[in-house]
Amino acid sequence: MDWSIAKILIQDGIVTGVIYALMAVALVLVFAVTRIIFIAQGEFVSFGALSFAMMASGQIPQTIYLLPIVGGIVFLKELYAKLKGRHGLPIWQSVLYFVLLPLGVMYMVPMMLAQEPNLWVKALLTIIIVVPLGPMVYRLVYEPVAEASVLTLLIVSIALHFAFLGTGLVLFGAEGWLVSEPFFEGEIELLGLTWRYQSLFVIVMTLLTIVGLWALFGFTLVGKALRATAVNRRGARLVGISTSLSGHLTFWLTAFVGVLAGIMLVSFIQITYETGFMIGLKGFVGAIIGGLVSYPIAAIGAVGVGIIEAFSTFWASDYKEVIVFTLIIPVLLVRSLTITHHDEEE
């Protein structure tokens, strides 16, 4: 290996690493606010990527039917809670959010696709189809056990992952999908390397997303409420911040980040229904490096994971996954020796 090859490997590692950085930031966000280790984050990548790829090839994605089905289940749950006299959304809001809007999306998407829109419109339709699943999943699966222990929430996340995995196989089949048409055509010489405009687009979109999240948390009332929930859930409730609403907003954000990552990634590699799990795990390595607390360290660590993966592919492609996931061991060892442990909040 010489420096010219090393530069190309670093370039490939950065492009894939920024996708892992999005995953890492999303995982830190969810854990900080809700204490949920959201293993199913990768499935939003797969669902977003495959839905976008199907639309890019002129097909109607089967996920348009998933949104009304999940929404209908949530509505029945809300209706049952009302009959039992529990607090919840008014019936008209439940009908609007969980029945009418999903049905509207299901009928709107085929009509839009019949007009043969460009890739940008298809990407927007993908976001409209898949992102609302995030808060619905929180309301259906996590909200009833929101105050449970981290271990219980982890077990629920594992079960949700397998449910999503089976659903993905039913909706998309076992074959992989790849979008050959990029958002931007062309190349540019930069720092002694040839960069595709599509690669630069992925890097810029990732940076804009991370900066947007930083601005949300630092300069908006909603972001400060989420930060307060992350610091102390009980204290947030005492000052009038709804931890339930914080959970819903968090899952809106994490679903958006996952779908965005999938849309960008499917232009580079072939995605199957189970690819998102491995992508999410590599983002989880970055999140662990950040201690599931620090967004910048998690993002930088995830980019490092991408670079290490690129070099591992060159030197020992059969063991690249082993090398990447082995990174967790020294990080956990150092943290176990240096971090003061606290009892979980009651």
pLDDT at 339: 65
Q: Which two tokens stand for residue 167?
A: 């659903």
Provide the residue type at 133 as one letter.
Answer: L
pLDDT at 343 over 60: no
Q: Terminus-to-terminus CA distance in the chain, angstroms? A: 54
Q: What is the distance between the alpha carbons of residues 168 and 171, in angstroms, rounded to a whole number?
A: 5
Mean pLDDT of 16-36: 86
Q: Which two tokens stand for residue 221?
A: 């009332």
Mean pLDDT of 211-232: 80
pLDDT at 345 over 50: no
Q: Which residue from 210, 207, 261 is spatially nearest to 44, judged by alpha carbons? A: 261
Of residues 133 and 90, which shows the higher confidence score? Answer: 133
pLDDT at 127: 92
Determine which of 21-25, 43-47, 81-85, 308-312 has the lowest per-residue pLDDT on average. 81-85
The CA-CA-CA angle for residues 164, 172, 325, to 5°, reads 55
pLDDT at 344: 47
Percent of the chain residues past pLDDT 90, beyond the cut = 12
- How many of the other CB atoms lie within 10 Å of CB of 329? 9
Contact call for residues 33 and 71 (beta carbons, < 8 A): no
pLDDT at 194: 76
Q: Which residue from 172, 169, 168, 164 is spatially nearest to 61, judged by alpha carbons? A: 172
Contact call for residues 9 and 310 (beta carbons, < 8 A): yes
Determine which of 49-63, 98-112, 142-156, 224-238 has the lowest per-residue pLDDT on average. 224-238
Q: Which domains are present in the chain?
A: 3-174+197-334 (1.10.3470)
- How many of the other CB atoms lie within 10 Å of CB of 223? 16
pLDDT at 346 over 70: no
Q: What is the mean pLDDT of the chain?
A: 83
pLDDT at 317 over 80: no
Q: Per-residue DSSP letters for 162-188?
A: HHHHHHHHHHH-SS-B---S-SS--EE
Q: Per-residue DSSP letters for 38-92?
A: -TTHHHHHHHHHHHHHHHHTTPPPTHHHHHHHHHHHHHHHHHHHHHTT-----HH
Label residue 37 by pLDDT band (50, 70, 90): confident
Ranked by mean pLDDT, which of 56-70, 223-237, 281-295, 332-346 comes out on top? Answer: 56-70
pTM strictly above 0.85: yes
Q: What is the distance between the alpha carbons of residues 78 and 94, in angstroms, rounded to a whole number?
A: 7
Q: What is the distance between the alpha carbons of residues 319 and 302, in angstroms, rounded to a whole number?
A: 19
Determine which of 82-91, 136-145, 197-206, 302-311 has the lowest per-residue pLDDT on average. 82-91
Mean pLDDT of 19-48: 87
Ranked by mean pLDDT, which of 127-131, 182-186, 220-224 comes out on top? Answer: 127-131
Q: Per-residue DSSP letters for 227-261?
A: HHHHH-HHHHHHTT--HHHHHHHHHHHHHHHHHHH
Determine which of 58-62, 90-94, 318-322 has the lowest per-residue pLDDT on average. 318-322
The alpha carbon of 59 is separated from its chain's Cα centroid by a whole number of angstroms, namely 24
pLDDT at 100 over 70: yes
Structure letter (DSSP) for residue 160 = H
Mean pLDDT of 97-116: 88
What pLDDT digit, counting tens, does each position of 73-98 carry?
Answer: 988 888 888 887 777 677 878 888 88
